[in-house]
Structure 1
Amino acid sequence: MSHLSIGKAWDEAKAALSAHRRLIVPIALGLILLPAVIASMVEPQVPPGQQPPPGSWMLVVLAMIFVMFVGQLAMVLLVNGWRGSVGEAIGQAARRAPPLILAAMMFGAVVILLFSAILAIGMGPAIESGQFDVDNTSGLGWILLLLGLVAFLYFTIRLLMLIPVIASEQVGPIAALRRAFVLTAGNFWRLFGFVAMLVLGFMIVALTVGAVVGAFVTLLFGRPEPWTIALLLVALAGGLVQAGFMMVYTAMLARIYAQLSAGQASVPEVKRED
């Protein structure tokens, strides 16, 4: 078990982002911001509380998610001292993206099976409707659902190193899941606090920017509708917030991984660019 210092990882992440900003920012804009905007533009607009109907737009969104995974993997490589060019880092990230997707699908399949079993036990025959019904959920069902949520949170935090593991190590999806779980042993609460603070900060910024930009755009261009300037501006604002968050989050994951995997507590020597 390695001792983890979130403060030290934060200092290292800031230093690495500053040193490699001319390399990382274009990746964040091209492989995080742009896919996020495209996904927002193609997704059908529906009233709040409703799900958009299935369609070909889902394939576009899946492709954009793949591109974002590539962006995150490439940023991990650059933050942790990648020696090659940006193009080579992106190429390496693209080759490592399929194992990451397979690992995420494996974890997701287990989560779906777990909660399907919990709902089947807790709701009984009412589950046949395909909808979660609060009134027909038993006391045992609520207890199992709570335990399932706790288990989901626990394993999500324990697998937090999955992206840097796959970016940095030549392992398959199953080995990557196992490796990520081992690396985080003994550091659950530190990692949980890190994620909680970062997600809370992201939500505050995203909601604030969304409300301000949304009101301003609606005033100037009207209600955002599919394939309109209004929707494009709202998507750009949201994408910029997401890209900024991903830069900080991924840099932190990279430096936490460096501590937990090899005890490399310092940012690799890099030439700062003013």
Structure 2
Amino acid sequence: MTPLSISRAWEETTTFVARETRLIVPLALALIALPAVIFGLAAPDVTNEVAARSPGLMALMLAEFLIGAVGQLAIARLALGHRERLGEAIRHGAARLPALVGGFLVVGLPLGFVLTLVVGAAAVVGKAGAGAGKAGAALILLAVMTALFVAMLIIFARCLLMLPLASVEAGGPLRLIKRSFAVSRGAVLRLLAAAALFLVGGVVILIAVRSVVGALVIVALGKPEAWTVSALLIALVDGAMQALIGTVFTIFTARLYAQRSGEAGPETGVPSSAT
């Protein structure tokens, strides 16, 4: 299997973005930025925990995730050289969404269950009295948590290419998982490094921009409340940044997948005239 080159994937990403700006910007704005703006306007500064207790906000959050995933599937497909109109790419992304979500659920639910058990065990150990028994239990629990953390990192790396894979390959959730593990074999550390550099950098930029804009908006218009101008301005910035980071990361992972699978190179990408 072709060795993974992060620098090559990044060069192909920047080339594709520069060449196909008119093609990917409408996708990113309509399917990634707009849902994020709507959620931010309806629920500024609402945490996931608070949203989980509100059926309406939870529905908005789920819709934002699903619509954004369709957009990312369409963008990945275009970045892998499939010559088709935007509408066709979006329809294909919507058709592949159930398989992608199913694949992540098959992997994520068991991990979430194990994590819940470990957190519960940690709470029990924390409430136990002092003594050698508690110290021994704490050491065992620490070892289990460390092993679980390492396992989660490895599984994350092995599933990192599942989205671009789902955008161009057929099959249900189990086949996606199998193929994702196959194309990531022998490249776990490189995939983890690429994801860490990209995601950490993106989060830092997002927080920095939001902090500056948020401070200016609060000074000018007051604290953002749902459906207010201040909430709209902050949501617009958040949506634009999420679209930018999400789009570039999607194209980047698509080009990583292309190296491992032999998919179309950047020279076969969709021409800018496609609509």
TM-score under structure 2 length normalisation: 0.88
Aligned residue identity for 2:248: V
For the 8 Å contact 1:2–1:263, the answer to whether it is kept is no
The whole-number CA distance in structure 2 between the counterparts of 1:121 and 1:158 is 28
Q: 1:118 to 1:210 in 2, by over 3 A?
A: same
Alpha-carbon deviations, 1:154-188, whole Å to 9, x = none? 10011111001111101111110110011011111
Distance 1:55 1:269, change over 3 A: closer
**1:271 deviation in Å?**
4.4
5+ residue gaps in structure 2? 128-136
Provide closer, same or farther for how the CA distance between residues 259 and 271 of structure 1 changes in structure 2, counting only shifts above 3 A.
same
- Kept after mapping to 1: 8 A contact 2:73/2:164: yes
Conserved? CA contact 2:161–2:184, under 8 Å: yes
- Cα shift at 1:64: 1.6
Could you tell me the TM-score, scaled by structure 1's length?
Answer: 0.88
Alignment-derived partner of residue 70 in structure 1: 70
Distance 1:159 1:49 in 2: 23
* Cα distance in 2 for residues equivalent to 1:182 and 1:169: 13
> Per-residue deviation at 1:272?
5.8
Question: Higher helix proportion, which one?
Answer: 2
In structure 2, the partner of 1:185 is 185
Q: Does 1:57 align with 2:32?
A: no
Counterpart of 2:169 in structure 1: which amino acid?
E
* Deviation of 1:15 (Å): 1.3
SS in 2 for 1:51: helix
Q: Secondary structure of 1:104's partner?
A: helix
Q: Give unmatched runs, 5+ long, in structure 1.
A: 128-136
Cα RMSD between the aligned structures? 2.3
**Would the alpha carbon gap of residues 141 and 183 (structure 1) be closer, same or farther in structure 2, given more than 3 Å must change?**
same
Please say if 1:106 is aligned against 2:101.
Answer: no
Give the superposition deviation at 1:43. Answer: 3.3
Distance of aligned partners of 1:269 and 1:104 in 2 relative to their CA distance in 1, 3 Å threshold = closer
State how far apart, in whole Å, the 2-side matches of 1:87 and 1:17 are: 19
Matched residues in 1 for 2:176 and 2:72: separation? 16
Distance 1:266 1:105, change over 3 A: same
- Find the aligned partners of 1:231 and 1:44 in 2 and give their Cα distance: 6
Could you tell me which amino acid in structure 2 is paired with residue 267 of structure 1? E
Paired AA for residue 63 in structure 1:
A
Query: Which amino acid in the other structure matches residue 12 of structure 1?
Result: E
1:39-69 Cα shifts (integer Å, max 9, x gaps): 22333755x8973433222112211211000
d(CA) in 1 for partners of 2:202 and 2:35? 19
**C-alpha separation in 1, matches of 2:108 and 2:119:** 16
- Partner of 2:267, secondary structure, is coil
The structural deviation recorded for 1:227 is 1.3
- Counterpart CA distance in 1 for 2:151 and 2:250 is 24
Report the CA distance shift for 1:97/1:179 in structure 2 as closer, same or farther (over 3 A): same
- Residue in structure 1 matched with residue 202 of structure 2 by the alignment: 202
Structure 1 outlier segments of 4+, above 4 Å: 263-266, 269-273
2:44–2:231: 8 Å Cα contact kept in structure 1?
no
Written as runs of structure 1 = structure 2, the 5 A alignment for 1:1-274 is 1-43=1-43, 51-52=50-51, 53-124=53-124, 138-262=138-262, 266-268=266-268, 271=271
> Separation in 2 of the partners of 1:94 and 1:203?
27
1:49–1:138 CA distance, 2 compared to 1 (3 A) = farther
- Residues 221-258 of structure 1 show CA distances to partners (whole Å, capped at 9, x for unaligned) of 10011111111111111111111101110111111111
- Corresponding letter in the other structure for 1:92: H
Q: Matched residue of 1:215: which SS?
A: helix
User: 1:133: which partner in 2?
Assistant: none
Are the structure 2 counterparts of residues 177 and 120 from structure 1 closer, same or farther at C-alpha, using a change threshold of 3 Å?
same
Which residue identity is paired with 1:245? I
Measure, in 1, the Cα distance between the counterparts of 2:266 and 2:162: 21
- How far 1:120 moved relative to its partner? 4.0
1:134 alignment partner in structure 2 = none
Amino acid at match of 2:70: V
